[in-house]
A and B are shown apart, each in its own frame.
Chain A
Amino acid sequence: MNNIKSILKKELNSYLVSPATYIVLVIFLLITGWYFNSTVFVIGQAEMRSLFSTLPILFLFFIPAITMGMIAKEKNTGTIEILTTLPIQDSQIVLGKFLAALILMGVTLLFTVIHLITIVRFGENIDYGSIFWGYIGLLLVSATYCAIGVFGSSLHSNQIVAFIISFVLVFFFFIIEVILVIFPGPLAEFFQYLSFNYHFSNLQRGVVDTRDIIYFGSMIILFLKGATISLESRKWN
């Protein structure tokens, strides 16, 4: 546990001292604010679902950008060798880095609470249950994207390649719901189940379905395990 905590702290610190992180996050918050403004007074509804449904699209670019260097950079600079000589398991390295990325996303989401304040100030009959679970849903989506991002970063030492791998993976799970029409019946159901949005849409409206929680949990475990194996693979002959 302490090892995970140390990795997390180190990783989070390297994020928070880097101007690049702030540039990425400020751009993210500016786009979020602009999108919120463009819809909130037009729709005239005291809710945040329009914003919630858009954030996963922004995550497609921002989370791979945040996670691309997590392991790839360490591999490129050779610091991964130093890290692995320490009495730390590969799974702890992966988990520490994953949690750091997730906390960063959580903190970023915290800044969007300003939009919620606008809703609370001018709105009537606000559905706080849906908003709260919408945020939890966003955290779950972020966590899944982060897990994929860490996995993508573990596959290559070049950060750009790592970004592209992560982006392609998250984009696949994002877009399959849109292209379901091209699949025949049972296959369409299978791909629909794989889609992020299919599971996130329930949480957005305040409905917590055990299947959605299990789906997100499974995806996170699967990609973190994949990242761990990818890290371990350097020891294979």
Chain B
Amino acid sequence: MNKRNTLINFAVIAGILVVLNLISLNLFHRFDFSKEKKFTLSDSSKKIVGNLEDNLIIKAYFSKNLPNQYADLGRYVRDILSDYQTYSKGHLKYDFINPNDEDVLKEEAIRNKIQPAQIQMLENDKMEVREVFMGMYIEYQGNGESIPLIQVKDGLENDITGIIKRLSRAEMDKVALFTNPDDDEIDYQSIKYILGKNYDMISTDLTTPIEAGVKTLVLGGVKDSLATEQLYNIDQFVMQGGNLLIFQDRVTMDVQKGEADEIHSNIFDLLSSWKIDIAPTLVVDENCGQISVSQRQGPFITQIPVRYPLIPVVNTMNKENLIVTKLENLVLLGASDLNIEMDSTSTVNFTPLFTSSNRSGSLKGPLYGISFRTFQNNSFNNMLKEPFKILSGLYEGSFKSYFAYRQEASRPDFKPESTGSKIIVVTDSDFINDKGAGKQPNNMNFVLNATDYLIGDTSSLEIRSRSFTISKLDVRQWLLKRGVDATDLDSVEKRTKLITKSLNIVLPSLLMIVFGFIYTLIRKRKSEKIRRLYE
């Protein structure tokens, strides 16, 4: 081949390779072979970052030389940001900054709402407190939001995606929350805040039909009957395919007074028509929270904590259901039994979500007897002989309208039956009330998971339920497992590390030399053999 042809040939090959690389930029596939697929972004994250129209800047403020327990975190953040960048079509840029390098950077981090954390760590054989930064600031079109402190990998993707979603004003799903302006015992600030991060929150008093586009209605429970119009609007919302997340007491309690009363409301008629039956009981559970009670000790009155079985602390989750599988320690305040009314002809499927423990019981009306003194004598143990009680469940399927045989059925847009609606019931309204147990982080996570499920955003649910195991290397633990005496542990650990380190340095080189020696020997013998053949 002459020079010209060769060069043309080279140019053609180079051209093909460039085109191939250009095509691969847009037409690519990623396979995640890591354990727990920790570098696979959820579809919703990919979609949100892929729809960015302008440049989004992420500044990750991470100090160097973080303590061991956080050492892997900085790298994970870098990895996940690189994955976001991959799907951003060039619109996402990220920068890693060590604010400890310069005062200007430290000021910038603080200005961007990343506060330094004080971490105690062993340095030069003594405990020292170090100021470290582990946060990020996300900026888009002049607006910004921060994650002030990142301490765990779990849930980070959810946080980042949530912020990008809000900043880019991506179309958010609508969630309506029923608020009764006359009820001053209710405060929904926490769930409004947590749901508002991911959803477009709308308040409704149910006097008018629920706004078009709303996919889920959160009903914080009622203590009285609703107006027929309000009931009708709930019913038709469900009939038209809307989903319901309801936190409804069957019995109200006043712990201070030690009194409890059954709620008489038409909401139970509506729920009953959908085969949802909340029993007029109060569940007591051995696994429970505490209340403070006043006790006279001499001339003084002191507050002492006592266990109160009407505050079940729930850890028995349906492990097969994504909504609750990773949750624990949900706190309820005066919950009731959820009776299952399903039969083989039912068009609705029921899945229990969580229950009380296997040492439970029920208090029945009309008096209930909820005074803490009731639970301080030995007879209380007899109350806990019943198995678990269902406190929350998921109903899915086709529901029939409560108004099917009433005069409202003649309205022009009336729908007699729903197809594919979902209802989640928790038998306690204090579960989401800030004046009850609503501020409990685990309760909030349940609300978020349940809403994601009802909206159909299972990928967000999966991100949140994902947890990462740490690949630990611990010689001490390894020695303990092999029954090394605890008194010798320090010296044995030192010795084991020294031997391991020495082997790691010397052995590969030694093996290489042995390999070379054997190879040369074999070659020599072969040459000798050939030489002898020709002699």
**Interface membership of A75, Cβ < 8 A:** no
- Residue of A111, A123, A221, A222 near B512 (CB, 8 A) is A111
| Contact status A41-B470, CB under 8 Å | no
User: Which residues in window 1-40 of A have CB below 8 A to B?
Assistant: 13, 16-17, 21-22, 25-26, 29-30, 32-34, 36-37, 40
| Contact status A218-B17, CB under 8 Å | yes
Contact A211-B24, Cβ < 8 Å, known A29-B512, A43-B71: yes
Q: Which residues of B contact A13 (CB under 8 A)?
A: 523
| Contact status B500-A118, CB under 8 Å | yes
Contact A122-B473, Cβ < 8 Å, known A29-B508, A33-B504, A114-B507: yes
- Interchain CA distance A160-B504 in the complex, whole Å: 32
Q: Which residues of B contact A114 (CB under 8 A)?
A: 503-504, 507-508, 511
**Interface membership of B471, Cβ < 8 A:** yes
**Interface membership of A49, Cβ < 8 A:** yes
| Contact status A118-B10, CB under 8 Å | no
User: Which residues in window 11-48 of B have CB below 8 A to A?
Assistant: 13-14, 17, 20-21, 24-25, 28-35, 39
| Contact status A214-B21, CB under 8 Å | yes
| Contact status A22-B10, CB under 8 Å | no
| Contact status A44-B512, CB under 8 Å | no
| Contact status A45-B478, CB under 8 Å | no
- Residue of A37, A115, A124, A130 near B34 (CB, 8 A) is A130
Q: Which residues of A contact B79 (CB under 8 A)?
A: 201, 205
| Contact status B475-A225, CB under 8 Å | no
**Interface membership of B3, Cβ < 8 A:** yes
Q: Which residues of B contact A103 (CB under 8 A)?
A: none
Closest-CB distance, B11 to chain A (whole angstroms): 10
Contact A207-B6, Cβ < 8 Å, known A16-B516, A44-B472: no
Contact A189-B90, Cβ < 8 Å, known A22-B516, A208-B31, A222-B17: yes
- Interchain CA distance A24-B453 in the complex, whole Å: 59
Closest-CB distance, A79 to chain B (whole angstroms): 20
Q: Which residues of A contact B472 (CB under 8 A)?
A: 44-46, 123-125
Contact A125-B35, Cβ < 8 Å, known A36-B504, A45-B72: yes
Q: Which residues of B contact A189 (CB under 8 A)?
A: 90
**Interface membership of B319, Cβ < 8 A:** no
Contact with A along B515-533 (1 / 0, CB 8 A): 0100110010000000000
User: Which residues in window 94-131 of A have CB below 8 A to B?
Assistant: 108, 111-112, 114-115, 118-119, 121-130
User: Which residues in window 38-83 of A have CB below 8 A to B?
Assistant: 40-47, 49
- Interchain CA distance A123-B520 in the complex, whole Å: 37
| Contact status A45-B20, CB under 8 Å | no
Main secondary structure of the interface of B (DSSP, over half): helix
- Interchain CA distance A117-B306 in the complex, whole Å: 54
Contact A209-B505, Cβ < 8 Å, known A111-B512, A122-B475, A214-B24: no
**Interface membership of B501, Cβ < 8 A:** yes
| Contact status A33-B28, CB under 8 Å | no
Q: Which residues of A contact B506 (CB under 8 A)?
A: 33
| Contact status B17-A233, CB under 8 Å | no
**Interface membership of B364, Cβ < 8 A:** no
- Interchain CA distance A211-B509 in the complex, whole Å: 35
Q: Which residues of B contact A191 (CB under 8 A)?
A: none
| Contact status B14-A222, CB under 8 Å | yes
Q: Which residues of A contact B501 (CB under 8 A)?
A: 37, 41
| Contact status B511-A111, CB under 8 Å | yes
Q: Which residues of B contact A193 (CB under 8 A)?
A: 21, 25
Number of interface residues of A (CB under 8 A): 64
CB-based nearest A residue for B507? A114
| Contact status A225-B3, CB under 8 Å | no
**Interface membership of A85, Cβ < 8 A:** no
| Contact status A45-B473, CB under 8 Å | yes
| Contact status B474-A122, CB under 8 Å | yes
**Interface membership of A183, Cβ < 8 A:** no
- Interchain CA distance A34-B508 in the complex, whole Å: 11
| Contact status A127-B504, CB under 8 Å | no
| Contact status B72-A218, CB under 8 Å | no
| Contact status B516-A33, CB under 8 Å | no
| Contact status B508-A33, CB under 8 Å | yes
| Contact status B471-A47, CB under 8 Å | yes
Contact A111-B473, Cβ < 8 Å, known A41-B497, A221-B13: no
Q: Which residues of A contact B513 (CB under 8 A)?
A: 22, 26
**Interface membership of B82, Cβ < 8 A:** yes
| Contact status A123-B473, CB under 8 Å | yes
**Interface membership of B345, Cβ < 8 A:** no
Contact A45-B32, Cβ < 8 Å, known A22-B516, A37-B501, A226-B10: no
Q: Which residues of A contact B469 (CB under 8 A)?
A: 125
Q: Which residues of B contact A221 (CB under 8 A)?
A: 13, 17
- Interchain CA distance A110-B86 in the complex, whole Å: 32
Contact with A along B453-475 (1 / 0, CB 8 A): 00000000000000001111111
Q: Which residues of A contact B471 (CB under 8 A)?
A: 45-47, 123-127
**Interface membership of B104, Cβ < 8 A:** no
Q: Which residues of A contact B82 (CB under 8 A)?
A: 201-202
What are 30 residue pairs bridging A and B, where the CB atoms are less than 8 Å apart in the complex? A26-B512, A29-B512, A30-B509, A33-B509, A46-B471, A47-B471, A49-B75, A111-B511, A112-B508, A118-B503, A121-B478, A122-B475, A124-B473, A125-B469, A125-B471, A128-B35, A133-B33, A205-B79, A207-B31, A207-B32, A207-B39, A208-B30, A214-B21, A218-B21, A225-B14, A229-B6, A229-B7, A232-B1, A232-B6, A236-B2
CB within 8 Å of B: which residues of A?
Answer: 13, 16-17, 21-22, 25-26, 29-30, 32-34, 36-37, 40-47, 49, 108, 111-112, 114-115, 118-119, 121-130, 132-133, 189, 193, 201-202, 205-211, 214-215, 218, 221-222, 225-226, 229, 232-233, 236
CB within 8 Å of A: which residues of B?
Answer: 1-3, 6-7, 10, 13-14, 17, 20-21, 24-25, 28-35, 39, 68, 71-72, 75, 79, 82, 86, 90, 469-475, 477-478, 497, 500-501, 503-509, 511-513, 516, 519-520, 523
Known: A112-B508, A210-B28. 16 other contacts (CB 8 A): A22-B513, A33-B504, A33-B508, A37-B505, A41-B497, A43-B71, A44-B71, A45-B71, A114-B504, A118-B503, A127-B471, A205-B39, A208-B30, A214-B20, A232-B6, A233-B6
